[in-house]
A and B are shown apart, each in its own frame.
Chain A
Amino acid sequence: MLFKDLRKGLSVTLKYLFTHAVTCQYPTQRLNVPERGRWLHALNLHEESQKIKCIDCGLCEEVCPSKCIEIIPTENEDHTKSPAIYNIDLGRCCFCGLCVEVCPELAISMSDKYELAGYDREKFVFTKEDLIKVGIEYNNKLQKKEGAL
Chain B
Amino acid sequence: MEKKVKIKINGKEFEVDSEKSILQAARENGIYIPAICYSDRFGAIGACRICAVEIAGMKKPMLSCAAKVKDGMEVTTNSPALDQLRREIIYEWDTFHPLQCGVCDKSGECELQNINYEFNITENPKEAQTDPLSIPQGTIHYEWKIIHHDANLCIQCRRCVAVCDKVVNFGILALVKKDGDRKEIDTKDGKPLDCEFCGQCVSVCPTGAMSSKLFKYKARAWEMEKVPTTCGFCSSGCQMDLNVKNNEILRVTSEEYTPNMANLCNLGRFNYSVSKSDRLIKDYSLNSKTLNQEAMLLELSQILKNTPKEKIFGISGARETHEDNLAFKMFFNNTLSNNNIDSLSSTHIGKLYKYLPQSVNTLYDFSDISDANLIICFGGDIANEMPRIDWSITRGAKLLKTSKVISAYWKDTKIDTLGSIPLRYEPGRELDFLTSFAFALKSEGYGAGLDGLDSLTGSEFDVSSIMEEVKKASNIAFIVCQEALERSNGEEIAKAVSNIALLLKDKIKVYASSKYNNAFGALYNNYGSSNEFSIQRLLEFAKEGKIETLILLNADLFSFLSDNEAKIVRDSVKNIVLFDTFESKTSLIANAIVPVPFFTSQSGTFINAEGRVNKINKAIECNVPCAWEFLFKLSTNLGYNLSSAKLQLKDKKITLNGPADKIYTINTNSSVKGDGEFVFIANYSKFRTSVYSGYGEGAKLAQSQSVLHISKEDAQRIGLNDGDIANIEANGASIALPVKIDEQMPKSVLAAQLWFENTNPYNITGGFNNLVRANLTKAQGGLK
Contacts of A80 in B (CB 8 A): 103
Contacts of A73 in B (CB 8 A): 217-219
Interface residue A132 (Cβ < 8 Å from any Cβ of B)? no
Verify B217–A57 contact, CB threshold 8 A.
no
Verify A62–B222 contact, CB threshold 8 A.
yes
Known contacts being A55-B103, A80-B103, A81-B103, is A75 close to B217, with CB within 8 Å? yes
How many Å lie between the Cα of A79 and that of B149 in the bound state?
A: 13
A57 interface neighbour in B103, B142, B216, Cβ under 8 Å? B103
How many Å lie between the Cα of A55 and that of B104 in the bound state?
A: 10
Known contacts being A62-B222, A79-B142, is A55 close to B102, with CB within 8 Å? yes
Contacts of A62 in B (CB 8 A): 220, 222-223
Contacts of B140 in A (CB 8 A): 79
Contacts of A104 in B (CB 8 A): 102
Residue of A56, A58, A105 with most chain B CB atoms under a 10 A cut-off: A58
Interface residue A11 (Cβ < 8 Å from any Cβ of B)? no
How many Å lie between the Cα of A50 and that of B218 in the bound state?
A: 24
Contacts of B217 in A (CB 8 A): 56, 73-75, 81
How many Å lie between the Cα of A61 and that of B223 in the bound state?
A: 9
A/B pair count, beta carbons within 8 Å: 31
Smallest Cβ distance from A82 to chain B, in angstroms?
9
* A interface residues, tally (CB under 8 Å): 15
Interface string of A55-77 (1 = CB under 8 A from B): 11111011000000000011100
Verify A58–B220 contact, CB threshold 8 A.
yes
Contacts of B219 in A (CB 8 A): 58, 73
Residue of B101, B107, B217, B223 with most chain A CB atoms under a 10 A cut-off: B217
Smallest Cβ distance from B251 to chain A, in angstroms?
14
Verify A58–B223 contact, CB threshold 8 A.
yes
Smallest Cβ distance from B506 to chain A, in angstroms?
58
Contact residues of B: prevailing secondary structure = loop
Verify A57–B222 contact, CB threshold 8 A.
no
Known contacts being A58-B223, A79-B142, is A105 close to B218, with CB within 8 Å? no
The A72-130 residues at the B interface (CB cut-off 8 A) are: 73-75, 79-81, 104-105
Q: Which residue of B lies closest to A76 (CB)?
A: B217
Contacts of B102 in A (CB 8 A): 55, 57, 59, 104-105
Q: How many interface residues does chain B have, given as a range?
A: 10 to 19
Q: Which residue of A lies closest to B108 (CB)?
A: A58
Contacts of B107 in A (CB 8 A): 57
Smallest Cβ distance from B674 to chain A, in angstroms?
50
Contacts of A61 in B (CB 8 A): 223
Q: Which residue of B lies closest to A54 (CB)?
A: B102
Interface string of B208-236 (1 = CB under 8 A from A): 00000000111110110000000000000
Contacts of A57 in B (CB 8 A): 101-103, 107, 220
How many Å lie between the Cα of A57 and that of B101 in the bound state?
A: 8
Smallest Cβ distance from A79 to chain B, in angstroms?
7
Smallest Cβ distance from B276 to chain A, in angstroms?
15
Verify A56–B222 contact, CB threshold 8 A.
no
Smallest Cβ distance from A99 to chain B, in angstroms?
14
How many Å lie between the Cα of A149 and that of B416 in the bound state?
A: 80
How many Å lie between the Cα of A56 and that of B220 in the bound state?
A: 9
Contacts of A56 in B (CB 8 A): 103, 217
How many Å lie between the Cα of A79 and that of B213 in the bound state?
A: 11
Contacts of B142 in A (CB 8 A): 79
Interface string of A31-64 (1 = CB under 8 A from B): 0000000000000000000000001111101100
The B98-144 residues at the A interface (CB cut-off 8 A) are: 101-103, 107, 140, 142
How many Å lie between the Cα of A80 and that of B101 in the bound state?
A: 13
How many Å lie between the Cα of A104 and that of B107 in the bound state?
A: 14
Smallest Cβ distance from A31 to chain B, in angstroms?
37
Contacts of A59 in B (CB 8 A): 102
How many Å lie between the Cα of A59 and that of B222 in the bound state?
A: 10
Q: Which residue of B lies closest to A59 (CB)?
A: B102
Q: Which residue of A lies closest to B150 (CB)?
A: A79
Contacts of B103 in A (CB 8 A): 55-57, 80-81
Q: Which residue of B lies closest to A61 (CB)?
A: B223
Interface string of B128-171 (1 = CB under 8 A from A): 00000000000010100000000000000000000000000000
Smallest Cβ distance from A52 to chain B, in angstroms?
13
Residue of B101, B103, B218, B223 with most chain A CB atoms under a 10 A cut-off: B103
How many Å lie between the Cα of A81 and that of B218 in the bound state?
A: 10
How many Å lie between the Cα of A59 and that of B140 in the bound state?
A: 26
Q: Which residue of A lies closest to B148 (CB)?
A: A79
Q: Which residue of A lies closest to B103 (CB)?
A: A81
Q: Which residue of A lies closest to B213 (CB)?
A: A75
Smallest Cβ distance from A40 to chain B, in angstroms?
24
The B184-225 residues at the A interface (CB cut-off 8 A) are: 216-220, 222-223
26 cross-chain CB contacts under 8 A: A55-B103, A56-B103, A56-B217, A57-B101, A57-B102, A57-B103, A57-B107, A58-B219, A58-B220, A58-B222, A58-B223, A61-B223, A62-B220, A62-B222, A62-B223, A73-B217, A73-B219, A74-B217, A75-B216, A75-B217, A79-B140, A79-B142, A80-B103, A81-B103, A81-B217, A104-B102
Known pairs A57-B101, A57-B107, A58-B220 / 11 extra A-B pairs, C-beta < 8 Å: A57-B103, A57-B220, A58-B223, A61-B223, A62-B220, A73-B217, A74-B217, A75-B216, A79-B140, A79-B142, A105-B102
The 10 tightest CB contacts between A and B, nearest first, are A57-B102, A58-B220, A81-B103, A81-B217, A73-B217, A75-B217, A55-B103, A55-B102, A104-B102, A75-B216
